[in-house]
Chains A and B, each alone.
Chain A
């Protein structure tokens, strides 16, 4: 008996027992639907996360003191003079900013706010991909002259200035007056929270106020491929200049990789759960197929009496269970995709159904059909024709 004929017979069987077939495959339907939905949502979220990170720039890196291996966890690990040396010795660095940070009161005409006051270099606007809404970011001249100019995040400006125009007006940081020269546009964050409320001032001005202290260096390499090399060179130069100090580095690329790793682990966990549910579904299919084989003993006897070989019967029942599982898989897929889009309407990102997810789900349901159909099909194939015919 050829394959097409077997599939036809199997479909006739499914059609003859619609409700039972549906209930049989319910486990598969739910399992596949869950996998498809979760993977679609996960993939969608990951895609959004990745584009967000791409926006930040994959050739950005940060150097900070490695406190783990050091007895004395105090003391300045960076010097301002490092900046020029690094720019000279590591030509792959295109931009470099020395970042310091402290919490302080920022007072405007309307209100005051206790927030992060960041002392940074002029390159910071580039390395942190700041978009100016109004005015400008401070220049390297502003920095070297330790000008008392400030750039505010839009949210901060709104809060302390109210309706007054901030650019061109004064704020006091701590007790020092600063001239506001620019506003940083609100980033559109996917996470919806953690809206930035920072004041940025030139590094020298910051050090004059809070002390000679640098938290980290933030840089940009010529290309994504050069990031690792650039970071390594930077660390080497720094360690030569500051004997006994150790530095750690991290690139956006690494952050993305670890984010990827996390989503990978999540997928694995979901996969395991899905595997269990599909396993249970498979047991259900096997159970019903065993019942079906018993019910159709006479049919098996007739077929054997007419010349069906063991192989023919085996294939017939295997195909029947595969057809059942694939039908379940298709229904599950439809439900899963539908569910994912429904959830997507509520959540912010759109789900991503890749063709390989569908393919894997399809292959998986077929595999379940084969694996769990094997026992019933084998039972059917091994029946003795005369015994089978005697049964009613």
Chain B
């Protein structure tokens, strides 16, 4: 079991009235699962993700990640778990703005004490994996929103974490960029990654294999998705970006049944094509 949460509660008592953001949450996520979290605004989704991501501490309850009881950890222990067990992807990307993609991706490795040459090698591989091999030395303000989020994903997976947590990773992106991100997640999940993702959109949630619903801080529903949508197929339907469909045949030729061709190529090909057309 990757994630084991029992009777988790979070009460914010900063304001005039204490706010119960989460209560009596029991949740188990198996290794290799791809879960999405849905619910209305203010239902406690982000609160849960922050707790799962060891960015915050619960008011009560227990949380075990990959066999580690998080509540027993001190500040340094939490930092270590964030560093090597968790890859976090934010809605607003959270890259260092004055730093290149490469250096941004290197950050988690910096804190893991990995030496410079290995850092460069792994950062390059991670950026290639999200289809940004040709954007390695770009700074965030020189990249599109979708590309920035892909850098963030590369950063999240560079330390090979036990679980990937994403709080509305497609919330700030257009449909196509969103699909690209989901394609990467699906690819990673196929490779064995455990992923928990928050979203408002059914279109996104239906890419995952399990959807849990929150309302007023409580987990109210937990459903299985029978036939998750395949992002790669969605991308084919969308065509090559904002261009007409002249290249559609070539693209569909590239997109062969899932699992056979590493996803990396498909995304980078799409990108290359978009670049050509501009």
Contact = CB atoms under 8 A, between A and B. Distances in A.
Interface of A: 1-2, 5, 12, 16, 298-299, 301-312, 385-386, 389
Q: Which of B76, B80, B83 has the largest count of A CB atoms less than 10 A from its CB?
A: B83
Interface in B20-36: none
Contacts, number: 63
20 contacts: A1-B111, A5-B110, A12-B98, A16-B98, A302-B96, A302-B107, A304-B79, A305-B55, A306-B88, A306-B107, A307-B83, A307-B84, A307-B108, A307-B159, A308-B79, A310-B75, A310-B79, A385-B55, A389-B90, A389-B94
A307 B86 CA distance: 9
B168 to A, nearest CB: 14
B82 A307 contact: yes
Interface string B208-227: 00000000000000000000
A383 to B, nearest CB: 11
Interface residues of B, number: 26
B252 interface: no
Counting from the closest, the 7 A-B pairs by CB-CB distance are A307-B83, A307-B111, A309-B79, A306-B108, A386-B55, A307-B82, A386-B56
Given A302-B107, A306-B155, A309-B75, 18 more contacts: A12-B98, A302-B94, A303-B107, A305-B55, A305-B82, A306-B82, A306-B107, A306-B108, A306-B111, A307-B79, A307-B82, A308-B83, A310-B75, A310-B76, A310-B79, A385-B82, A386-B55, A389-B94
Nearest to B99: A12
Contacts of B53: 305
B50 interface: yes
Q: Which of A1, A306, A385 has the largest count of B CB atoms less than 10 A from its CB?
A: A306
Interface of B: 50, 53, 55-56, 75-76, 79-80, 82-84, 88, 90, 94-96, 98, 107-108, 110-113, 116, 155, 159
B271 to A, nearest CB: 25
A1 B111 CA distance: 5
Nearest to A307: B83
A309 B112 CA distance: 10
Q: Which of B82, B84, B110, B116 has the largest count of A CB atoms less than 10 A from its CB?
A: B110
Contacts of A309: 75-76, 79-80, 111
A292 to B, nearest CB: 14
B96 A299 contact: yes
Contact of B110 (A1, A304, A311, A389): A1
Contacts of A306: 82-83, 88, 107-108, 111, 155
A298 B50 CA distance: 16
B103 to A, nearest CB: 9
A307 B112 contact: yes
A307 B56 CA distance: 13
Nearest to A301: B94
Contacts of A298: 94
A305 B88 contact: yes
B80 A307 contact: yes
Contacts of B155: 306
Contacts of B110: 1, 5
Contacts of B95: 302
Contacts of B159: 307
A386 B90 CA distance: 12
Contacts of A311: 76
